[in-house]
Structures are given as C-alpha cells and as structure tokens.
Amino acid sequence: MALHFIVDELPALVDAQGQILPGATVTLGGAEARHAVTVRRVRVGEPVTVGDGRGTLADGECERVAPTEVVVRVTGVRRVEAGSPRLVLVQALAKGDRDELAIQAATELGVDAVLPWAASRSVARWEGAKVAKGLARWTTIVREASKQAHRGRVPEVGPLVTTADLARLAAETRMLLLEPTAPSRLSELVRDDAAAGAADARDLLLVVGPEGGFAPEELERLAAAGAVPARMGETVLRTSTAGPAALAVVSVLLGRW
C-alpha cells in the first residue's frame, strides 16, 4: 500500500471540469519531508497519497526526493465524504498514557472527533498551561494516527470539556454513556435505531469515564440532560479500551464497516 502523508493545504490540482491540471504536483516540506525521507525512506517513482486532512486525497508518484523537500507528481484526485452521523469520542482524562492510547486507536478505527473530558474522578488534570499542551499533544497523536490509517479526514480535536458542557451537549446530540452497570446494551440501543430506519443526523457521542468510572452525580446529571447509559458485555473495560471497542460495534451496526 502507498505511503500516506498530510499537508496543511493542497494547491489547485483540478480544473473546473474536475480534470487534473497539467503538471500538477504537491510538495512536502519541513517535518513532513524529513519524515518521508529519513523515516519512511521514500524513493523516486514510489507511489504515495497526500491529503489535506479535510477530505481531499491526491494519488501520485515521488518525482523528486531531497532531505528538505519531496515533490509528488499527481496522477489522481478523489474526495472522502464525511460520515453521517458523526461519531465523537468523549474521552475522560486518564493517568499515564491511557487516554492517548484511546484516541490513537479511535482515530485508526474511524472516529470523526474527540473531546477531552475533565471528569471528577480523573487523576490526570489539565490546568493552566497544561490545557494548551494537552490539546497540542492530542492533535499530534490524531494526525499521526490518521497518516498510519490512510485517512482522508483527520478527526477534530475539540476543547477540554466539563461535565456541565457535556450536559449541554446531551440536549442537542445522541449521547451514550459507556457504563458497565447500565440496563441496556450498546448494541441494542444502536441496533434499535438502525432497524427503525431512524434518520438521525445528530452527532453520536460515546462518553468514556476515567479509571474510576463515572461518579454517581455525573451519571445522574448527564442522564437528566438526555444521555443514555449503555453497557458493553459483562466485563469492565479499561478507559483506554472502551472507546475503541464501542466505535467498532457502532461502525458495524451503522454500516460503516
């Protein structure tokens, strides 16, 4: 499979009729070029794909390879449309790298957006300068995982949210709380909607608690706002595992896979 790279902006590659412009090229520079040359070891003539992370993908071949610049001759351009409904992982901050493992796997599995949540039982805390640092770290993880997975769209990394923020979101989205003690199974809740042919284009939010799980007051507040608790089997999954596992289930039931 061709190597995949992401640039912030793609130049004009097609004309008004959708035909590839003569001599259309994409140039990788900076860190992306260094990564392509020193880590991925691309060679002249090697097929690659280059995307802008917003749905446009250019297929091509490496025309020139230098330590600071890689020029790709474009042979095809295609669009990757956004999924509907959007699948959003709300991941509670967790100690170590467990929250980072969750968003990395979720990106590879097709999540459309991730939101960091400062849950009451979160051991890890983003405060002051740590907020910007944490968001930057998550953005890098999501971008790199998107390249690994050859994704045409890089998931959005939203701002750090509180439980009050989630309660407001619950009123305008479909929000499922991944809770081991919930009376209804995740598969049942999603399958029932699919079987009924419900054309609900609202974002589907999958909320994962921290290592200690949801606090009772969080469950109560979010449920009162419209969120629905959902159980995943009879076992308790780690905070790094629950979100990706739920995404896999939902992707099958919604026909994405």
Residue pLDDT, tens place only, 202-237: 899 999 999 999 999 999 999 999 999 999 988 999
Return the number of other C-beta atoms located less than 10 Å from residue 57's C-beta.
Answer: 21
* Per-residue model confidence (pLDDT) at position 248: 97
- Tell which of 79, 102, 117 closes a domain: 79
Same domain, 48 and 133: no
CATH number at residue 46: 2.40.240.20
Same domain, 64 and 117: no
On the question of pLDDT at 196 being above 90, the answer is no
* Structure tokens that stand for 105 in this block: 């796997």
Q: Measuring CA to CA, which residue among 247, 253, 255, 254 is closest to residue 112?
A: 247
pLDDT tens-digit map of 36-88: 999 889 999 999 999 999 999 999 999 999 989 999 999 999 999 998 899 99
Q: Measuring CA to CA, which residue among 67, 63, 64, 2 is closest to residue 37?
A: 67
Contact 62, 46 (CB under 8 A): yes
pLDDT tens-digit map of 109-159: 999 999 999 999 999 999 999 999 999 999 999 999 999 999 999 999 999
Cα separations in angstroms, 108 against 34, 46, 104, 112, 236: 23, 24, 7, 10, 22
Per the prediction, the chain carries an average pLDDT of: 94
Same domain, 116 and 242: yes
pTM over 0.85: yes
Same domain, 73 and 98: no
Same domain, 150 and 64: no
Same domain, 97 and 164: yes
Using the Cα atoms of residue 126, residue 160, residue 252 and residue 150 in order, give the sign of their dihedral: negative
On the question of pLDDT at 192 being above 90, the answer is no
Q: Rounded to whole angstroms, how far apart are CA atoms 100 and 102?
A: 5
Mean pLDDT of 94-101: 95
- Tell which of 79, 108, 134 closes a domain: 79
* Per-residue model confidence (pLDDT) at position 116: 98
Same domain, 72 and 91: no
- Tell me the backbone φ, ψ of residue 80, rounded to 5 degrees: -110, 110
Range of the domain at 161: 87-253
* Structure tokens that stand for 87 in this block: 């699948």
Q: Measuring CA to CA, which residue among 111, 69, 117, 108 is closest to residue 88?
A: 111
Same domain, 52 and 94: no
Same domain, 72 and 96: no
**What is the β-pairing status of strands 174-178 and 228-230?**
parallel
pLDDT band at 31 (very low <50, low <70, confident <90, very high): confident
Q: Rounded to whole angstroms, how far apart are CA atoms 106 and 246?
A: 9
**How many domains does one find in the chain?**
2
Q: Measuring CA to CA, which residue among 186, 166, 183, 184 is closest to residue 227?
A: 166
Same domain, 61 and 101: no
Same domain, 31 and 124: no
Burial status of residue 20 (CB atoms within 10 A of its CB: 0-12, 13-18, 19 or more):
middle
Q: Rounded to whole angstroms, how far apart are CA atoms 129 and 122?
A: 18
Same domain, 63 and 188: no
- Tell which of 61, 79, 97 closes a domain: 79
